[in-house]
Amino acid sequence: MNTVKVLFFLVIILGVAALFRFSFLSSIPPGIHPDAAANGIDAWDALVHNNRQVFYEGNSGREGLFINFISYSFDWFGPSLVAYKLPGCLIGLLSVLGMYFLGKEITQKQYGGLIASFLMATSFWMVIFDRTGFRATLSVCSVIWVSFFLLRAFRTTQWHDYALAGIFLGVGLHSYTSFRFMPLVVVAAYGYALWAWRKLKNASWLHIFQLHKYFILTVVIALFIFSPLLQYYLVHPETFMGRAHEVSVFTQSETSKHLWQSTTSNLLFFNISGDPNWRHNVARLPALDTLLGAFFLAGVAIVGYSLIKKRESAPDTSTQTRVANFFMLCLLGMMIIPAAITYSPGGIPHALRIINTAPAVYLLVTIAAVTIYERVKNSGVVQRPILLMSITLLATYLVTFNAVLYFMRWGDNGQVAHEFSEDYTHVSDYIKDLSATGSTVLLVSDSSELQFFLLAVKNVIITSKFEAVEFETSRPDVVVFSNFGQNNIRDREILITQGMQMSSGLTFGRGGHTVVVFSR
């Protein structure tokens, strides 16, 4: 394929990726998850107080880089649900672009890069997380670019490729807990590459090390970029595994049983039974449909066979392919481990914890597709026009299937609305309307979602517990209880004695969330 054609198709793929990631961004999913809301609240506080951090301790602790990206988005566009989601969507586009270069590097074919990029662009699995504002999207993007620059460095031995691999490796260590397995993948791949090149060239280890001496740049640059977070972990060692420790299989009473259940369920995640949580998936739907699932298994078989097949005198290109194949299998295996060693009752397999396998999964699908295409084309059994038409129909099917799956079957599902607290968007709209009239509103709620939707809204005071002193000080015109129960009977009596009248409960959203309102 010539450069113009490649650029044309790549622009189309990026356009499709943008449509999947930016269409109906304010309404699908129809709200925000509590974990994401906590990220947004921290991002806003970081902006307001000019205090961006490498690690945020709230909500069991989270690496700070992605939250800081959100704070810049809030700075440019104001605090809103769309502004919150923008960084993840943009990072998703960068992942799609990276998959082109990585796919091309591995298959050594431009159309191989286009296939890999297209799969990432239309992936239901990836679109969900790119649009919901979880920091794992930054992790996937880092995996892709580290993989590309490292494999290219193995081929070119150029210092700048090793340096760029180090940059993205360092950035990834600021993203998501499961990315901490990526350095193991990098070291294992480097060791295998040295062994493979030494065997090919029949040279000394010293000579091979000299050819690839710039790998030290990867290590040094990655450590330099990671150093602020590493320093934080050294001062606060309990935070290093704090969030992961909560769901670790090794903290369960029946460790062996749960480890087996988690491992097997995550291995079946791709083809048999997916994540049961509607927040991450259409419940139990495999990550890959039947067709892509078959290509994935074929890709694993092709790559595995290439590694065990003996080649007495392999050319350089064959050795490079073997290194790339080893890298992919290593990446796939290593990135399953974070999901396998965690256990959440009713939450295995877990699409988020296993998300860093996605680049390897779609690359294996790509390898199978390229292999089949080349064999069919070279056989002459199928005419080129028919072959191209079949590819076009397949691409159309994938776009249509995933669009319907995301925007209709998943996006309009009532359980998804519940998972993303859609009711709270309506409650916050009601409070915003009260605030817009000039009324001072005291909101009694411990909901991080409500707090997120009311960031920077004037005349709104939020407290997790009603306090008579705070009420007398602020003198609100309206008091709203988002969860009014028996514990609030005393609060009602205080408000009535202060001249407030209790309105009947107001119900919002598909979940029927009821708030109790007191007004003067």
pLDDT per residue, tens digit, the chain (520 aa), is 788 999 999 999 999 999 999 999 999 999 999 999 999 999 999 999 999 999 999 888 999 999 999 999 999 999 999 999 999 999 999 999 999 999 999 999 999 999 999 999 999 999 999 999 999 999 999 999 999 999 999 999 999 999 999 999 999 999 999 999 999 999 999 999 999 888 777 777 887 888 889 999 999 999 999 999 999 999 998 888 766 767 788 877 788 888 999 999 999 999 999 999 999 999 999 999 999 999 999 999 999 998 887 665 444 457 889 999 999 999 999 999 999 999 887 789 999 999 999 999 999 999 999 999 998 888 877 777 888 888 899 999 999 999 999 999 999 999 999 999 999 999 999 999 999 999 999 999 999 999 999 999 999 999 999 998 889 889 999 999 998 888 889 999 999 998 899 987 889 888 888 999 999 8
Among 346, 297, 331, 325, smallest CA distance to 140 is for 331
Look at residue 273 and give its three-state secondary structure: coil
Look at residue 518 and give its three-state secondary structure: strand
Strand partners, 443: 462, 480
Q: Beta strands 478-481 and 441-444: pairing type?
A: parallel
Identity at 431, one-letter amino acid code: I
The phi, psi pair for 477, rounded to 5°, reads: -80, -30
Which two three-digit tokens encode residue 146?
């580290």
Q: Is the peptide bond before 349 cis (omega within 30 degrees of 0)?
A: yes
Do 503 and 518 form a contact (C-beta atoms < 8 A)?
yes
CA-based end-to-end distance of the chain:
73
Do 41 and 452 form a contact (C-beta atoms < 8 A)?
yes
CA gap 74, 86 in Å, rounded? 10
Strand partners, 62: 56
CA gap 496, 519 in Å, rounded? 10
Please indicate, yes or no, whether the overall pTM of this predicted structure exceeds 0.85: yes
The per-residue pLDDT for 312 is 53
The per-residue pLDDT for 243 is 66
CA gap 305, 311 in Å, rounded? 12
User: Could you give the angle at which helices 81-107 and 65-77 cross, rounded to 10 degrees?
Assistant: 130
DSSP 118: H
Do 175 and 136 form a contact (C-beta atoms < 8 A)?
yes
The per-residue pLDDT for 313 is 45
Do 56 and 68 form a contact (C-beta atoms < 8 A)?
no
Do 139 and 355 form a contact (C-beta atoms < 8 A)?
yes
- DSSP letter string, 141-181: HHHHHHHHHHHHHHHH--HHHHHHHHHHHHHHTTT-GGGGG
Look at residue 463 and give its three-state secondary structure: strand
- Write the burial class of residue 241 (CB in 10 Å: 0-12 exposed, 13-18 middle, 19+ buried): middle
CA gap 167, 225 in Å, rounded? 7
Element (H, E) at 346: none
Do 451 and 62 form a contact (C-beta atoms < 8 A)?
no
Residues 6+ apart with CB under 8 A from 440: 459, 460, 461, 474, 475, 476, 477, 478
Look at residue 458 and give its three-state secondary structure: coil
CA gap 181, 168 in Å, rounded? 14
Do 284 and 274 form a contact (C-beta atoms < 8 A)?
yes
Q: Beta strands 460-463 and 441-444: pairing type?
A: parallel
Which two three-digit tokens encode residue 159?
């210092």
CA gap 425, 30 in Å, rounded? 8
